[in-house]
């Protein structure tokens, strides 16, 4: 018996807000390569799901990836016609809504109804789960309006859906790498305790999950780290073999680069202890991982091993925390920095007692600094001639937060000379608490949007 052929998995989105024209070139590359292939979209950062839950509250048919149509319309027909499976967490807070949207889209395109599976079980915001969350988090949530609560599911339900014949698998919260592990499990017939193969596929998924961050995106630094073709970056493709090892590449002719350095940056991205990268599927160990440049834009990852998966699942609970107020005003020319610093001091006095006020001098010190202002206080006036003052504070009451915006606006007449370009905003804020839930308490599975014929 011959071993199953390579599985190609391409990722056409690394977050909600990624380029929406990404999928076309990777789908072309998958079809040209032939063989089994999967297209994944990762669109669900930590906070995205809570925002989706708020959108669903406002409109019961919303709550999934708002750009779903833009992502899929250009490639859905080709994927379905050429057997490229689609797996994504773009279901967000309303996976059934996303699945219905895809069915409508297929009909609009004149395609036969696709077999769409919906992964369920991640949403633990219902009343039945409240005692479980209370015991995991303690009283922290008692006074907080909960917006969303979701467990990070693993790959098993995705694999089951694909084995059952799904052409499209719509998920809500699943661990990002599981979007790749599920298809690999289904394709190669791996068991859910084949730890080392699952760990290797997990790291392939990890390299894919942020889109072009592995293929030249988020990397360039002119003169030090040069990247060709950044306006046409190629999204990554992982060629996964039957042992889970992978080669990372990108579509021929696309911009960007895949080399030891771009891949190493992404391999360690959001990793803590490299000997224990935890997902719902496995604990992956990168201690002996190696990368090899096989050819231009082809890098092989090997040496990853796996250990038994955690007993519990991580869950994120998002809740309303109040209001964030921000305001900006700009100064230019002689002594601009001094005038901006004076404006900050005026605002500190006017807003004293309202809570900690953060002040940044954009163009001087705005990102490395801490909220308490220790960094900025250490930077002497460097005589910058084009500076924007930005201030921010948080408050439980909207009316109190709005005082900041009025005080920044009042700098037009009461502030230092020559201030201009005031911009202010007040928006609601969300907090997140993480906890671990017993795996058995969060049963995952899938259902069909429509029974396949």
Partner 1 sequence: MTDPQSIPASVPLWRAAHGRTGDKGNRSNISVIAWHPALYPLIEAQITEAAVASAFAHRRPTRVQRFCLPQLQAMNFVLDEVLDGGVNDALNLDSHGKALSFLLLDLPLQVPAALLPLLRGSVC
By CB under 8 A, name the binding residues for partner 1.
46-47, 213, 218-219, 221, 223-225, 261, 264-275, 286-291, 303, 318, 321, 324, 356, 358, 360, 366-371, 374-375, 378, 390, 392-394, 429-432, 434
Question: Angle at which helices 398-414 and 336-350 pack, to 10 degrees?
Answer: 140
Minimum distance of partner 1 from residue 32's CB (angstroms): 31
Residue nearer to partner 1 on the CB measure, 269 or 448: 269
Residue nearer to partner 1 on the CB measure, 187 or 388: 388
| Residue 399, SS3 per DSSP | helix
- Cα separation, 408 vs 327, in Å, equals 6
Residue nearer to partner 1 on the CB measure, 122 or 360: 360
Residue nearer to partner 1 on the CB measure, 356 or 418: 356
Residue nearer to partner 1 on the CB measure, 241 or 360: 360
414: how many CB neighbours lie within 10 A of its CB?
12
Minimum distance of partner 1 from residue 287's CB (angstroms): 7
Residue nearer to partner 1 on the CB measure, 167 or 279: 279
Minimum distance of partner 1 from residue 273's CB (angstroms): 6
List, in sequence order, the alpha helices (H) in 8-155: 23-33, 48-58, 68-72, 76-81, 95-108, 130-137
The first and second tokens of residue 378, run together, are: 């250490």
Strand order in the sheet with 305-307: 277-278, 283-285, 305-307
Minimum distance of partner 1 from residue 241's CB (angstroms): 21
The CA R_g of the chain, rounded to the nearest whole Å, is 25
8 A C-beta contact, residue 38 and residue 87 = yes
- Cα separation, 199 vs 294, in Å, equals 22
Residue nearer to partner 1 on the CB measure, 95 or 205: 205
8 A C-beta contact, residue 85 and residue 168 = yes
- Cα separation, 288 vs 294, in Å, equals 19
Minimum distance of partner 1 from residue 375's CB (angstroms): 5
Backbone angles phi and psi of 125, in degrees to 5: -90, -10
């Amino acid at each position: 018996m011959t071993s199953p052929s390579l599985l190609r998995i391409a990722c056409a989105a690394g977050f909600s807000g990624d380029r929406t024209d990404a999928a076309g070139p990777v789908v072309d590359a998958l079809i040209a390569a032939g063989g089994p292939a999967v297209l994944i979209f990762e669109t669900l950062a930590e906070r995205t799901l809570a925002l989706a839950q708020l959108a669903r509250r406002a409109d019961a048919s919303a709550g999934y990836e708002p750009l779903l149509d833009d992502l899929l319309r250009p490639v859905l027909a080709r994927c379905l016609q050429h057997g490229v499976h689609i797996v994504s967490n773009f279901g967000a807070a309303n996976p059934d809504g996303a699945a219905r949207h895809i069915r409508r889209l297929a009909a609009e395109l004149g395609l036969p109804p696709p077999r769409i599976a919906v992964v369920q079980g991640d949403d633990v915001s219902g009343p039945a789960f409240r005692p479980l969350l209370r015991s995991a988090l303690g009283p922290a949530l008692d006074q907080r309006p909960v917006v969303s609560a979701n467990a990070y599911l693993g790959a098993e339900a995705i694999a089951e859906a694909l084995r059952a014949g799904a052409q499209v698998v719509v998920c809500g919260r699943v661990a990002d790498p599981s979007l790749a592990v599920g298809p690999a499990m289904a394709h190669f017939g791996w068991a859910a305790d084949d730890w080392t193969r699952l760990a290797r596929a997990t790291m392939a998924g990890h390299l894919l999950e942020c889109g072009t961050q592995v293929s030249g995106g988020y990397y360039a630094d002119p003169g030090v780290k040069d990247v060709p073709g950044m306006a046409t970056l190629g999204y990554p493709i992982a060629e996964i073999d039957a042992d889970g090892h992978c080669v990372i590449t990108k579509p021929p002719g696309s911009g960007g680069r895949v080399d030891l350095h771009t891949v190493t940056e992404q391999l360690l991205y959001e990793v803590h202890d490299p000997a224990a990268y935890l997902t719902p599927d496995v604990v992956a160990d990168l201690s002996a991982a190696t990368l090899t440049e096989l050819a231009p834009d082809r890098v092989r990852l090997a040496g990853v091993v796996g250990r038994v998966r955690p007993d519990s699942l991580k869950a994120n609970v998002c809740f309303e925390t109040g209001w964030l107020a921000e305001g900006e005003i700009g100064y230019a020319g002689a002594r601009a920095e001094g005038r901006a610093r004076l404006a900050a001091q005026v605002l500190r006095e006017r807003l004293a007692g309202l809570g900690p006020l953060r002040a940044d001098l954009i163009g001087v010190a705005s990102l490395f600094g801490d909220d308490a202002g220790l960094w900025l206080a250490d930077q002497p006036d460097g005589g910058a001639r084009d500076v924007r003052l930005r201030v921010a504070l948080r408050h439980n009451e909207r009316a109190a937060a709005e005082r900041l915006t009025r005080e920044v606006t009042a700098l037009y007449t009461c502030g230092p000379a020559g201030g201009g370009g005031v911009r202010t905003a007040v928006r609601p804020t969300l907090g997140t608490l993480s906890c671990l839930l017993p795996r058995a308490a969060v049963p995952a599975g899938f259902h069909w949007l429509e029974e396949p014929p």
